[in-house]
Chains A and B, each alone.
Chain A
Amino acid sequence: MYITGRDGMAVVKLDSGYNIGVPPESCTLAGHPVPLPSQQHEVIQDKNLPTLAIVSTGGTIASRIDYRTGSVTSQFNASDILTAIPELAGIANYRTIPLATILSENMTPAIWQDLARAIYTEIKNGAKGVIVTHGTDTMAYSAAAISFMIDTPVPIVFVGSQRSADRPSSDNAMNAVCAAAAATGDLGEVVVVMHATTNDDACAIHRGTRVRKMHSSRRDAFQSIGIAPVGEVGYPSRKVTLTRKAVRRGTRALALHDKLDPHCALVQFYPSMSPDLLKVYEGYHGLVIAGTGLGHTSTVLIPPLKRLIGSGTLVVMTTQCMNGRVCDRVYDTGRDLLDAGVIEGGDMLPEVALTKLMWVLANEKDKIKAAALMQDDLKGECTRRSTHGL
């Protein structure tokens, strides 16, 4: 059976199930296969269980791959999910909102705004928790952005899978089950729920503003940086354990602040970086620098930075070390950067500082106040004390 074309060859499926590539001219049309009727069965949900909303942005939590085109199918409703992961039915009943079907590297501030509005509406309409399915590449950026855009009384749980859903070993089902458990739990903040280790025995609950993807492929790629995870979900027990630091359900009143200023950028400094590169950011409203060590750039970058700041760009210094906080008062370079008007970003992760800057600049027009907000702890992104080691 003819499947598709690939590199000039016709991919043919044999009766044995094997695919092989053959020259297209060796194929003759014998007929068109009758498409299989889709095996869609309605899944009955338990109305006595709490209601959760699942907002999908294109994550692979219950996706099915179309092997003809290689694309992920876009049908997405509660039945699809519950058919793929039946254990979910015992945790909650679900409303599903297909927001986007994008690869997460194509995420934009505009989609973050749509996402924030959709989540807000669901919570307003009574959802006891929200699950956001998301590609893992930029999940931490999105979790941070949503953290700033919504004051939430209920859990907003970001979840994804590192190993594709089309493999029996995929982490999608366990992550989804743990995410649903966390979403019905006593949380009241934006979190990321993913494998805690390579074992299928627990997921970690990470604060949305302190989490980072630290491995390109492992299941336990997501790690809390600078703080311990705020909780854990056991598997298959689904037992949710929260630390004292976790923000509890109902602590915050629901509010949406959906404005973002997309004219912000993040740049990583490296030795020999040309001052000319900074010219690109002229006219930007905000710039986050991932500096070296305690928060440094080379001295040749200081004059152009000063010019940027003078023309109205808010420049925030973070550290590419990821762990630890910025302190520009130790070395001359740091003091010169401060004199140039650079704001110390504390122990904020560079990506988090970027989304925060977008949010702050859209919501606070006064530069002095905006700079102060960048150093305030709004959603757990800045810690006052460095309590957690590497």
Chain B
Amino acid sequence: MDYKALGLVAGIEIHQQLDTEEKLFCHCPTTLCETAEHSGEFSRYLRATVSEMGEIDRAAKEEMKHDRMFRYYTYDTTCLVENDEEPPAPVNDEALAVCLTIGKMFSMTPVPQVHTMRKLVIDGSNTSGFQRTALIAFNGILPGGGQIETICLEEEAAQRVKDEVFSLDRLGIPLVEITTSPCMHTPEDVQNMAEYIGMVLRSTGKVKRGLGTIRQDVNISIAAGARVEIKGVQELDLIAEVVRREVQRQQSLLAIRDELKKRGAGADAPAGTDVTGHFKETKSTVLKKAKKIHAIVLKGFAGLVGREIQPERRLGSEMSDYAKKCGVGGIFHTDELPAYGVTAEEVAGLRTHLHAGENDCVILVAGANEKQAACAIGQVITRAKLALSDKPVPEETRKMLEGGSTAYMRPLPGAARMYPETDVLPVLIDDARWDALVVPELLTTKAERFVAAYGIEKNYALQLASSEKLPLFERAVQEGIRPKLAAFTILSTTTELRREGVDISRVPDQAYLDTWHAVESGRAAREAVPEIFRSIAAGSSFSDALGRLAPAVSREDLEQIVRKIIAERRDFVGEKGRAALGPLMGVVMAEVRGSADGKVVSEILKREIDAATTPR
């Protein structure tokens, strides 16, 4: 696809959790807990408030269509600030320093005086009903001519456990939000840029690792479409696919609009019709349970409501997302009926009852009461009108579904959602503070240095630079350990042991260093490293683990062992010659239980194989 011709414009917002001691606005630790360990719970309602500009934010209004009570889990590691029962502490200085450092890494300009704002969020993920956020720096430079518009320091939201239940352990962890300009024009551009920014963030050594600690939001539009913000893309590998699918969705919606225009379609009815009576005897469990069923005839929409606009998504799915904001489970439309227990007779009867023609699509919503059904059908009409309009791609915030398609969440928020956090004092960023910030070496630069200085292979070097064990590696090299030995242990040995099921996290950094020193001084063979780690992971001390190794084998003993093994396999060695080296290596190493240097074993083996195969 020619994305440039389609006028694809994309930008990203990256949200990265920081690995600070304490949370952004309280003194709780930034550790996550198991929900089963929660120490208490409480429940709250949220209502949208009027902003300083005198209006209620449109995104907040949408969330309020449906009265919801939220439940929150508290932990030993959370406090009254997370509970919204105590004013916030001043901005965490460690988090601010990391954020400023990142700003400096992108050559940004810091804000002279930082003001914390409240960003209205009433989906329950913030107990207060807002997320605290502050603009820290702006105008950053990206490779390839792109720009970073802003970097903000925000508090992380609470984690949704299920439905309206949230866990407060995550609430308040510092988060940097990096917003690029709309400077990307292909799906791959977007993915590469996200990857690059992620690498820069990890270069600080102060960011959290693991799934969910970094999230990307993608802003996408094509020339004839509209700006759509897709929230919460957690897997980097999916970003390009998300962009491709959004382009497809926007193109499909444009095509559907053209088709609707051609058909003279309309969605003019101001409200739905009550058809509850029509389904008195229905076999459909959803409709049977409903207290009120409302229907609307969409003139000229037949076949288009059910048309796929991106994998697993139809125009009907979009209408359904809108209707769900009123608390209903979804919608039925005649493009997919008869199905779900609704019979062909019921559909035909409904069409006759509503005077719906062949070209028309009938939409049904099942509500728990009149208000809910009327609200939901109103939302369907709203979405149908949008499909027909000059702007058939609505500006929206959407959430990513599995696989890379998306669902509607809410309208794009406006500036009305921001108002000052009056409980947090502004922070001055003066030149002295900015100048004193030390910019860390980029991981890619570090990797290049490892290649050049230590002769470590490039991919290995990159992995090492991104590894959580990087500080350990640097310390080991400083202490005179061979870089290749340290790198091999950190990257290969531990991976193999992990695959074996060894809990490698139980091996402390000091044990790595002790082991390496033992190898370097000849007290242990290189091959004994896994055995030592296995013992330590199982609970031994380093010295016990070392002591438990088979006693070091002398060269004479080793030669004897090798000769014995070759003698026992004379036919095999005769047949394979030098090629027997590999298989015999394993046999010898097993015999000496790792207590001999592989290099020496290999050297002796080679000599003895040669001796055994050369005719005397």
A167 lies within 8 A of B112 (CB)? no
A-B contact pairs, 13 of them (CB 8 A): A17-B415, A18-B150, A19-B135, A19-B418, A20-B114, A167-B49, A167-B118, A167-B130, A168-B46, A168-B129, A170-B49, A199-B42, A217-B80
Of all chain B residues, the one with the shortest Cβ separation from A17 is: B418
Which of B43, B87, B111 is close to A199, meaning CB atoms less than 8 Å apart?
B43
Shortest distance between the CB of B72 and any CB in chain A (Å) = 10
B112 touches A22 (CB 8 A): yes
Q: Which of A3-11, A244-252, A322-330 contacts B (4 or more CB under 8 A)?
A: A3-11
- Bound complex: CA of A219 vs CA of B42, how far in Å? 12
Q: What residues of A have a CB within 8 angstroms of the CB of B55 in the complex? A: 39
**Bound-state Cα–Cα, A200 to B478, Å:** 58
Please, how many angstroms separate the alpha-carbon atoms of A174 and B67 in the complex? 14
User: Which residues of the partner chain A approach B50 to less than 8 Å between Cβ atoms?
Assistant: 64
With both chains docked as a complex, state the minimum distance between the C-beta of B323 and any C-beta of chain A, in angstroms. 24
CA distance A169 to B420 in the complex (A): 16
Shortest distance between the CB of B395 and any CB in chain A (Å): 16
Residues of B within 8 A of A17 (CB): 117, 119, 414-418
Does B267 have its Cβ within 8 Å of any Cβ on chain A?
A: no
Dominant secondary structure of chain A at its interface with chain B = loop
Partner of A167, one of B53, B117, B129: B129
Beta-carbon contacts of B39-67 to A below 8 Å, as 1s and 0s? 00011111111101111000010000000
A217 near B86 (CB under 8 angstroms)? Answer: yes
B69 at the interface (CB under 8 A from A): yes
1/0 per position for A332-351, CB-CB distance to B under 8 A? Answer: 00000000000000000000
Chain B residues numbered 93-126 whose CB sits less than 8 Å from any CB in chain A: 111-115, 117-120, 122
In the assembled complex, the Cα of A164 lies from the Cα of B419 at a distance in Å of 14
| A360 → B minimal CB distance (Å) | 38
Q: Is B343 located at the chain interface by the 8 A CB criterion?
A: no
Asked whether A6 and B426 contact (CB < 8 A) given A64-B50, A168-B130, A169-B129, the answer is: yes
Partner of B112, one of A21, A70, A197, A217: A21
The reply to whether the CB of B216 lies closer than 8 angstroms to some CB of chain A is no
Contact A218 B43 (CB under 8 A): no
Q: Check B420 against A67 for contact (C-beta < 8 Å).
A: yes
Q: State the B residues within 8 Å of A (CB).
A: 42-50, 52-55, 60, 69, 80, 83-87, 111-115, 117-120, 122, 127-130, 133-135, 150, 152, 414-420, 422, 426, 428
Q: Tell me the A7-45 residues at the B interface (CB within 8 Å).
A: 7, 9, 11, 13-23, 36, 38-39
- Cβ contacts under 8 Å, A173 to chain B: 47
Complex Cα distance A174/B45, Å? Answer: 9
User: What separation, in Å, do the CA atoms of A6 and B53 have in the docked complex?
Assistant: 19
Contacts of A174 in B (CB 8 A): 45
**Is A364 engaged at the interface, CB distance under 8 Å to the other chain?**
no
Would A36 and B43 count as touching, CB distance under 8 A? no
CB distance from A54 to the nearest CB of B (A): 20
* Contact assessment for B128 and A168 in the assembled complex, using a CB-CB cutoff below 8 Å: yes
Q: A18-B152, A36-B53 are in contact. Are A169 and B44 (CB under 8 A)?
A: yes
Return chain A residues, CB-CB under 8 Å to B419: 67, 166
Which residues of chain A have C-beta atoms less than 8 A from B80's C-beta? Answer: 217-218
| List of A residues within 8 angstroms of B48 by Cβ | 168
| Distance A15 CA – B85 CA, assembled complex (angstroms) | 31
Question: 7 closest A-B pairs (Cβ-Cβ)?
Answer: A168-B129, A21-B113, A17-B418, A67-B52, A17-B415, A18-B135, A19-B115
Choose from A36, A70, A218 the contact partner of B54 (Cβ within 8 Å): A36
Q: With A163-B84, A169-B129 given, name 12 new contacts (CB 8 A).
A: A7-B426, A7-B428, A9-B112, A11-B113, A16-B150, A17-B417, A18-B134, A18-B418, A20-B135, A21-B112, A21-B113, A168-B60
Which chain B residue shows the least CB distance to A85? B47
Closest to A86 in B: B47
- B129, A9: Cβ atoms closer than 8 Å: no
Contacts of B112 in A (CB 8 A): 9, 20-23
State whether the Cβ of A114 lies closer than 8 Å to any Cβ in chain B. no
Q: Is A201 an interface residue (CB 8 A)?
A: yes
Q: Contacts of B129 on A, CB cut-off 8 Å?
A: 167-169
Q: Are A38 and B54 in contact (CB under 8 A)?
A: yes
User: For A121, what are the chain B residues with a Cβ–Cβ distance below 8 Å?
Assistant: none
B52 touches A200 (CB 8 A): no
Q: Are B46 and A169 in contact (CB under 8 A)?
A: yes
Would B54 and A16 count as touching, CB distance under 8 A?
A: no
Chain B residues lying within 8 Å of A9, measured Cβ to Cβ, are: 112-113, 426, 428
Determine the distance from Cα of A39 to Cα of B416 in the docked complex, in whole angstroms: 15
Residues of chain A lying within 8 A (CB to CB) of residue B428: 7, 9, 21
Most buried by A among B54, B414, B416, B420: B420
Q: Does A198 contact B (CB under 8 A)?
A: yes
Report chain A residues within 8 Å CB of B44.
169, 199-200
B128 pairs with A21, CB closer than 8 A: no
Question: Which A residues are in CB contact (< 8 Å) with B46?
Answer: 168-169
Q: For residues 169 through 190 of chain A, which have their beta carbon under 8 Å from a beta carbon of chain B? A: 169-170, 173-174
**Minimum C-beta distance from A161 to chain B (A):** 12
Q: Which residue of A lies closest to B74 (CB)?
A: A198
Tell me which residues across on chain B come within 8 A of A18, comparing CB atoms: 115, 117, 133-135, 150, 152, 418
* 8 A Cβ contacts from A201-242 to B: 201, 217-219
Return the contact of A20 from the options B52, B113, B417 (Cβ within 8 A).
B113
Indicate the member of B87, B112, B120, B428 with the most A CB atoms within 10 Å.
B112
* A343, chain B: closest CB distance, angstroms: 39
Looking across the interface, which residue of chain B has its beta carbon closest to that of A22?
Answer: B112
Closest to A36 in B: B54
Residue of B nearest to A18 (CB): B135
Chain B residues near A6 (CB, 8 Å)? 113, 426
A70 / chain B contacts, CB cutoff of 8 Å: 422
Nearest to B46 among chain A residues (CB) is A168
Q: Which residues of chain B come closer than 8 Å to A36, judged between CB atoms?
A: 53-54
| Bound: A174/B135 CA distance, A | 33
Quick check: A168 and B115 within 8 Å, CB to CB?
Answer: no
Q: Return A249 CB to nearest CB of chain B, in Å.
A: 30
Q: A67-B420, A168-B120 are in contact. Are A218 and B130 (CB under 8 A)?
A: no
Q: How near does chain B come to A61, taking the closest CB pair, in angstroms?
A: 13
Task: Kindly report which residue of chain B lies nearest to residue A220, judged by CB atoms.
Answer: B85
* Min distance, Cβ A88 to any Cβ of chain B, angstroms: 13
Q: A20-B111, A67-B419 are in contact. Are A217 and B85 (CB under 8 A)?
A: yes
Which residues from A are CB-within-8-Å of B87?
217
Chain A residues near B45 (CB-CB < 8 A): 174, 200
A22 engages B127 (CB within 8 Å): no
Across-interface contacts of A165 in B (CB, < 8 A)? 49
Chain A residues with CB under 8 A of B133: 18
Residue among A6, A17, A39, A219 facing the most chain B CB atoms (10 A cut-off): A17
Min C-beta distance of A64 to chain B, whole Å: 7
Question: In the complex, what residues of A have CB within 8 A of residue B152's CB?
Answer: 18
Contact B85 A166 (CB under 8 A): no
Chain A: minimal CB distance from B422 (Å) = 7
Residue from the set B69, B114, B152, B419 with the largest chain A CB neighbour count within 10 Å: B419
B130 touching A21, Cβ below 8 Å: no
Chain A residues lying within 8 Å of B417, measured Cβ to Cβ, are: 17
Q: Which residues of the other chain, B, contact A15 by a CB distance below 8 angstroms?
A: 415
Closest Cβ neighbor of B111 among chain A residues: A20
CA separation between A70 and B414, bound complex, in Å? 22
Contact of A168 among B49, B54, B414 (CB under 8 A): B49
CB-CB < 8 A to B122: which residues of A? 168
How far does the Cβ of B79 sit from chain A's closest Cβ, in whole Å?
11
Tell me the bound Cα distance from A219 to B80 in angstroms: 11
Closest to B418 in A: A17
Cβ-defined contact, B416 with A166, below 8 A: no
Q: Smallest distance from the beta carbon of A138 to chain B beta carbons, Å? A: 19
Q: Which of B53, B83, B115, B415 contacts A21 (CB 8 A)?
A: B115
B130, chain A: closest CB distance, angstroms? 7
Bound-state Cα–Cα, A97 to B135, Å: 42
CA distance A65 to B420 in the complex (A): 11
Are A20 and B415 touching (Cβ within 8 A)?
Answer: no
- CB neighbours (8 Å) of B86 from chain A are 217-218
Q: How far is the CB of A276 from chain B (nearest CB, A)?
A: 37
